[in-house]
Amino acid sequence: MTGASGLLGRHLVAALRERGDELVDVADADVVFHLAAQTTVPAAREDPVGTFEANVALAWRVLSAAPRAVFASSDQVYGPRPPVVPIPETAPLDPDGPYAASKAAADLIARSLDGVVVARLVNLYGPGDRHETRLVPGTIAALRAGRAPVIRGTGEEARDLLYVEDAAAALLALADAGEAGEAYNVGTGAVTRVRDVVQTLIDVSGVDVEPEILGLTPPGEGGARSVDTTRIRAATGWAPATTLDEGLRRTWHAPPS
């Protein structure tokens, strides 16, 4: 596995150990999970060349050497203006910005290689996320400090959010039953407004604050987006097991990592 120290990687390692799988070096693995990447949009804008190296060149090196692999792609490969929502895997790749473009390039490379299954993941959240530029950990950090959470856009932007343990289970299911050369959306299929996510966390925390709404939606983050998960459900039987309310509660109450 690559990216074992990240949010998804740590939960995937735990899931693998729980079911008794042996974790070995990538060179000796029967199945490789390639999760390592530069994962934040702002950092990608600041360093597009470094993002290319981390997200495209590294993917080529790892995946081309693996006998079988599951590659963690992103729903951002579809771009900010998908033709239909929920987005099916047949939608064209139309990335916007260095991060999405790098993931789309790696997605294409992965599907061209023998033995690689592609998982197009939606926004993940859960215990242990240290990236406070993201919605859930940023809101939690503000609330723990007694500050008002900041919503960069209008709050009407809506996303498909998936609890990280469910994402780890999806990758295991794709490793076992996914078809090489195919891409599978991994999400809930539902959309939730940013303001509703923030309000749920405020309610869970018990902190008496109102969010600060800036109304300045960053490029590529407007509108509503979710993915169609028919393909992964049919191929593997996987489905999310955690509601958004429950996932947010678990994330809030989890001990600091």
Report d(CA 74, CA 70) in Å as an integer: 13
The residue count of the chain comes to 257
pLDDT in 10s for each residue of the chain, 257 residues? 999 999 999 999 999 999 999 998 888 899 999 999 998 888 899 999 999 999 999 999 999 999 999 999 999 999 988 999 999 999 999 999 999 999 999 999 999 999 999 999 999 999 999 889 899 999 999 999 999 999 999 999 999 999 999 999 999 999 999 999 999 999 999 999 999 999 999 999 999 999 999 998 776 677 889 999 999 999 999 999 999 999 999 999 998 76
Q: What's the pLDDT at 158?
A: 94
Phi first, then psi: give them for residue 18, nearest 5 degrees: -65, -35
The domains of the chain are located at 7-253
Q: How far apart are CA 95 and CA 65, in angstroms?
A: 27
Under 8 Å between Cβ of 75 and 122 = yes
Output the pTM of the full model. Answer: 0.95
Q: How far from the centroid of its chain's Cα atoms is residue 140's Cα?
A: 18
The whole-number pLDDT of residue 257 equals 66
| Number of CB atoms found within 10 A of residue 90's CB | 10
Cα–Cα nearest to 89, from 188, 231, 189, 238: 231
Specify the CATH superfamily of domain 7-253. Answer: NAD(P)-binding Rossmann-like Domain (3.40.50.720)
